[in-house]
Amino acid sequence: MYHQGRGLLLNALLVSMFCAVAAPPASAEPMTGAQLTAQIIGKDLVTRRKGMTVHLRYDSDGTVAVKTPLFEASGHWILSGDSLCMTLAEGPRREETCHVFEDIGGGAYRNSEGQILRQR
């Protein structure tokens, strides 16, 4: 009985150690336009959407490039307050889309759709 209880305690401890992950801040603040410019513009970003890896780059000249296994698209972006807005000339999302971003640490950002973008 003693060994069985000790084994259960050890298993519970191991499970809690391996399952513990750092949670994002409970109330992360949206990034400012200045933070977006410093941390996202000019960086190669990667995300997953509908099971595909998506490569994104917002260049400092106001252009944006998107590459997926199915298509490549380009367009332009602007800052509207603390939102990053892009309009693509090709692809499935040609209308303007605007997002606010949160810095979740480690070169990763969450947009207002819940997508996680990571610096490559």
pLDDT digits (tens, 9 = 90+) for 11-43: 333 333 333 334 444 447 899 999 999 999 999
Q: How many Å apart are CA 94 and CA 92, to the nearest integer?
A: 6
Grade residue 4 by pLDDT with cuts at 50, 70 and 90: low
Extents of the domains making up the chain: 29-119
Task: Report angle CA 35, 97, 27 to the nearest 5 degrees.
Answer: 45
Token pair belonging to 67: 């590459």
Q: Would you say residue 113 has pLDDT above 80?
A: yes
The gap from C-alpha 54 to its chain's centroid, in whole angstroms, comes to 11
29-119: what fold?
Lipocalin (2.40.128)
Three-class SS state of 18: helix
Entry pTM: 0.73
Token pair belonging to 30: 């949206």
Q: How many Å apart are CA 104 and CA 22, to the nearest integer?
A: 10
